[in-house]
Amino acid sequence: MRPHDVRECVEIVAAHPIVGPRYGSAIADLGPVWLRLLACNGLASAVVFEEADQAGCKIIGVGITAFLSDNFLRELKTPPFFWMGPELARRVARGDHSSLLSLRQIQVANSQEGLNLAVWHASIRNEDVNRVEVWTELMTAFLSEHVGFLLKELVSQGESPQHLEGIRNTGGFLLKSQDVGYGDFDGTDLHELVLQPHIVGLTREMALQQLGSWIGTLFQYEPPQFGFSRSEQRLLLSALPGGTDEQLSAELGVSLSTIKKTWRSAYDRVAACFPELIPSNSPSNSKTSARGRDKKQHLISYLRAHPQELRPVSRKLLRQNGSPGHRFAEHRPAS
């Protein structure tokens, strides 16, 4: 999501026959709040889904997630239940960010006890809500955006009977009460459930008991080995879809020399921990360019299969905790 997408995304939420009425007057807060959170990296993920035709390109859906504080999650799960999205919008609008984790808090939680992931919205235009391919794209993007985090709980609120059915079919559960916890839907009428405040989701412990489920994939986790810096992670994340260094320079708003320096730093960090992953750094005249492409391809291929390397962590805490599997090496960035 880019700032210029926010207005149309809010319109999709406001026009939604089930979700829109949940907001009431709080819908006026949603646009400014999302803009504020985009600017400060206050969202776990913000994704738009577009469809192109002869008339141009239009947004047909929006996915927004956030990492919740333990206190807000506890409040959310305490009856009587309330609508999460409007409440978050109201709190952030009045300057209260305590319900959402800051980047530093995310780094700490992702290196210790884990994160509470909340689906703020998974909204699709009403005329597209029955299109299977749209839901498939939304679910694929959701998995791609969040796998590799150390999650301890996932929570959501259904936006349509179809949404609730998808949650149930992919391994989610219905929160019965704070004391009873999550349980099966047990023939619950999804058309009635979606109209009243409710919580659906599951905990890490529950997910690890059903690893064959789609949603259980989110909770599979291995600690990172390389401990990339934030600038290295930004470059590598942008490089995952492909693109030249010149394109990455334009996208990230940094000089081409900075891009090349960051690549060297990332390669050195990998070589210090896992030297067999990428080809040797030794020069070979005419083959230097080809070797550089090979190194990039090897590293990008590895990172696509190991997304935890690109998630925010505290390297200091991972070392202190003695997390199994990590092989961080002391690294001095390339000059």
What is the bridge-based pairing of β-strands 151-156 and 115-124?
Answer: parallel
| Architecture of the 3-219 domain | 3-Layer(aba) Sandwich (3.40)
Burial of 197 (0-12, 13-18, 19+ CB in 10 A): middle
Quick one: pLDDT at residue 188?
93
194: tokens are: 């979606």
User: How is the chain split into domains, by residue range?
Assistant: 3-219, 230-321
What CA–CA distance (Å, rounded) separates 62 from 126?
12
Quick one: pLDDT at residue 136?
87
Identify residue 334 by its one-letter amino acid code: A
The secondary structure element, H or E, covering residue 62 is strand 56-68
pLDDT one-digit tens code per residue, 46-60:
999 999 887 788 899
Round to the nearest angstrom and report the end-to-end CA distance of the chain. Answer: 35
Quick one: pLDDT at residue 90?
97
220: tokens are: 């599979």
Q: Which residues of the chain have pLDDT under 50?
A: 282, 284-286, 324-326, 330-335
Radius of gyration of the CA atoms of the chain, in A: 21
Quick one: pLDDT at residue 61?
93
